[in-house]
A = this chain, B = another copy of it.
Amino acid sequence: MSAPSHLSDLGPAPCAEQGSALRLTRQRREVYDVLLERRDHPTVQEVFARAKERMPKISLATVYNCLEALMQVGLVRQVNLHRSPSRFCPNLSDHAHFHCAACGQVSDIPLEATPCPTLPDGAVLHQQEITLRGLCPHCASPKHS
């Protein structure tokens, strides 16, 4: 909850990729706000639904666009999952994602030490993603099954 509450500074390349300035549109702001409001890793459809509540005219394609744009500037990360649509995450700290195979929920797992694999000579690393799959405490509990 200590993250940047509002994207007041989207223009001046926040997380410094290649100096691309992001044009601040109402839609992008709305999509980003939706992600910040509840850190529950929504799917595109969920982002769309939530954004629509406050901006009924917004289109699904625009949500995809906005998310892609936010990812480009480094404010948002995409989580690619097995048998499940992608989720989106505005948490920029180093962390892994835990995907429950039963209920489908995704949660953040803090990483104390970031692994540093040896890349092939000359390779350039842009991004690193750690995904854990299993059963969340609730679904793993014997009472639950």
Contact = CB atoms under 8 A, between A and B. Distances in A.
Nearest to A1: B104
B100 A109 contact: no
Nearest to A120: B137
Contact of A135 (B126, B132, B136, B140): B126
B128 A130 contact: yes
Interface residues of A, number: 49
Interface string A65-87: 00000000000001011111010
Nearest to A105: B2
A78 B84 CA distance: 13
A101 B2 contact: yes
Nearest to A130: B130
A60 to B, nearest CB: 17
Given A1-B83, A4-B83, A118 B123 contact: no
A61 interface: no
Interface of A: 1-4, 78, 80-84, 86, 96, 98, 100-104, 107, 109-115, 117-137, 140-141
Leading 10 A-B pairs by shortest Cβ distance: A122-B137, A80-B80, A115-B115, A126-B134, A124-B135, A125-B134, A124-B140, A2-B104, A127-B133, A129-B131
